[in-house]
């Protein structure tokens, strides 16, 4: 296990340099497996500054996408998919239309569910096309990357990282069902860590704690269901039985786009680093704030979506 540990330490050191010590970092070679949509808009900001510091970046993505387009800033490796741009745009528009409608009927819920299922099926089929593309995988293997940077919400990047035996760095806002805390065995006591959609704070009465606990139950089923196709794909491709929490637990570093200004205090694991609410392109501060020559940036929510 020593080589694995030393690889992890190496990557940790590299990342700390990348993030904290501009100018001191040695150039590294980074494989990026992004998730399309707003996820990409946030990640692109990071890649641009990594590139400015002289790091070599290779991005692997499906050839049809929403925001991920050919760019001269990085080496982009696109792989073929089995749908057209029109198919994707159509599905996505229909999804947005139903998702942004008023009201909460069962019919609307089912429609949204169907759209999400279809988009998720597309993502899984893309992932399989990437993993089973022999020439592309061989190119990636021969490139000898120092690290894989990925948004783990689709798990494809982590499956690839394990196949290439390259340590992975996750960059995300959060996982469905708070799977990041389960996978890392991070304490998440329901007595004071409020669950998603509960509208609770970290200071709960007894009954609120009961509610918080109850909100956790559906998560178990939903996430099992959502990640099953990836578990199946990963188990076939890596030729061993793996679960989603297994895969996630192998991340070297979690860069979380969270901030205790916006999020309640909670326990974290040592490899979880809060990088602030980096979401899409940072907003420009109002002129009078800039003029006042003080740093208010942490107090302005940068959620664009
Ligand atoms: C694999 O990906 C490359 C691009 O990276 C593409 O040119 C090639 O057609 C793909 N092969 C298959 C079998 O899809
Ligand atoms: C694309 O491929 C997947 C399997 O990889 C299949 O389930 C799906 O129906 C295909 N889609 C189209 C539009 O052919
Ligand atoms: C928690 O909430 C209770 C009731 O609302 C309040 O009395 C108490 O001061 C709060 N504790 C903290 C630490 O904010």
- List b or e across 116-154, with b for residues whose CB sees 16 or more CB atoms inside 10 angstroms: eeebeebbbbbbebbbebeebbeebeeeebbbbbbbbbb
- DSSP letter for 142, please: H
Atom of ligand 1 nearest to the CA of 77: 5
CA distances to 49, 98, 103, 105, 131 from 92, in Å: 30, 10, 20, 20, 24
Q: Are 200 and 212 in contact (CB under 8 A)?
A: yes
Ligand index nearest the alpha carbon of residue 133: 1
Q: How many whole angstroms separate alpha carbon 144 and alpha carbon 79? A: 20
Q: Are 156 and 230 in contact (CB under 8 A)?
A: yes
Tens digit of pLDDT at every position of the chain (305 positions): 344 444 444 555 455 555 544 444 578 999 999 999 888 988 998 899 899 999 999 999 999 999 999 988 899 999 999 999 999 999 889 888 888 887 767 888 888 888 888 888 999 999 999 999 999 999 999 999 999 999 999 999 999 999 999 999 999 988 988 899 999 999 999 999 998 878 899 999 999 999 999 988 877 777 877 899 999 999 999 999 999 999 999 999 999 998 888 889 999 999 999 988 656 566 666 666 556 544 444 443 433 33
Pairing outcome for strands 168-172 and 75-79: unpaired
Q: How far is the CA of 132 from the centre of ligand 1 (A)?
A: 10
Place of tokens 């749908």: 83
CA distances to 38, 271, 277 from 221, in Å: 26, 27, 29
User: Which one, of 162, 192, 189, 195, lies nearest residue 177 by Cα?
Assistant: 195
Query: Domains in the chain, start-ordered, CATH in brackets?
Result: 29-191+221-304 (3.40.50.2000)
Ligand index nearest the alpha carbon of residue 121: 2
Would the CB of 133 count as within 6 Å of ligand 1?
yes
Q: How far is the CA of 125 from the centre of ligand 2 (A)?
A: 7
The residue whose C-alpha atom lies closest to atom 11 belonging to ligand 2 is 82
pLDDT of residue 78: 96
Backbone phi, psi, residue 113, to 5°: -60, -45
Atom of ligand 1 nearest to the CA of 80: 14
Ligand index nearest the alpha carbon of residue 137: 1
Given ligand 1 and candidates 133, 134, 142, 160, which is best to mutate, with the most ligand atoms within 8 Å of its CB?
A: 133
pLDDT of residue 288: 62
Atom of ligand 2 nearest to the CA of 128: 5
Backbone phi, psi, residue 69, to 5°: -125, 160
Would the CB of 83 count as within 6 Å of ligand 2?
yes
Would the CB of 125 count as within 6 Å of ligand 2?
yes
The residue whose C-alpha atom lies closest to atom 13 belonging to ligand 1 is 133
Residues in the chain: 305
Report helix, strand and coil shares of the chain as percent, to nearest 5.
50, 10, 40
Which DSSP string do the residues of 200-246 spell out, in sequence order? --SS--HHHHHHHHHTTHHHHHHHHHHHHHHHHHHHHHHTS---HHH
Q: How far is the CA of 266 from the centre of ligand 3 (A)?
A: 17
- DSSP letter for 168, please: E
Q: How far is the CA of 78 from the centre of ligand 1 (A)?
A: 8
Backbone phi, psi, residue 128, to 5°: -65, -40
Ligand index nearest the alpha carbon of residue 208: 3
User: Crossing angle for the helix pair 106-131 and 217-238, nearest 10 degrees?
Assistant: 20
């Amino acid at each position: 296990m020593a080589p694995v540990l030393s690889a992890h330490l190496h990557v940790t050191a590299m990342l700390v340099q990348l993030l904290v010590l501009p100018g001191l970092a040695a150039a590294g070679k980074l494989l990026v497996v992004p998730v399309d949509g707003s996820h990409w808009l946030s990640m692109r900001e990071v890649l641009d500054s990594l590139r400015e510091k002289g790091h070599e970046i290779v991005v692997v993505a499906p050839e049809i996408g929403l925001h991920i387009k050919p760019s001269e800033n990085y080496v982009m490796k696109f792989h073929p998919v089995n749908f057209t741009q029109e198919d994707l745009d159509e599905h996505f528009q229909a999804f947005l239309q139903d998702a942004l409608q008023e009201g909460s009927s069962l019919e609307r819920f089912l429609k949204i569910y169907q759209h999400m299922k279809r988009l998720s099926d597309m993502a899984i089929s893309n992932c399989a096309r990437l993993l089973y593309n022999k020439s592309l995988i061989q190119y990636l293997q021969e490139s000898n990357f120092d690290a894989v940077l990925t948004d783990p919400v689709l798990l494809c990047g982590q499956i690839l990282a394990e196949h290439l035996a390259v340590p992975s760095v996750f960059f995300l806002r959060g996982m469905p069902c708070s799977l990041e805390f389960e996978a890392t065995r991070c304490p998440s006591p329901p007595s004071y860590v409020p669950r998603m959609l509960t509208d609770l704070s970290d200071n709960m009465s007894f009954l609120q704690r009961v509610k918080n606990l109850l909100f956790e139950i559906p998560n178990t089923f939903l996430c099992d269901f959502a990640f099953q196709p990836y578990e199946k794909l990963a188990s076939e491709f890596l030729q061993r039985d793996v679960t989603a929490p297994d895969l996630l637990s192998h991340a070297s570093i979690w860069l979380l786009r969270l901030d205790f200004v916006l999020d309640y205090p909670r326990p974290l694991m040592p490899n979880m680093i809060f990088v602030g609410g980096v979401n899409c392109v940072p907003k420009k501060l109002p002129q009078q704030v800039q003029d006042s020559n003080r740093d208010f940036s942490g107090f302005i929510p940068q959620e664009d979506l």
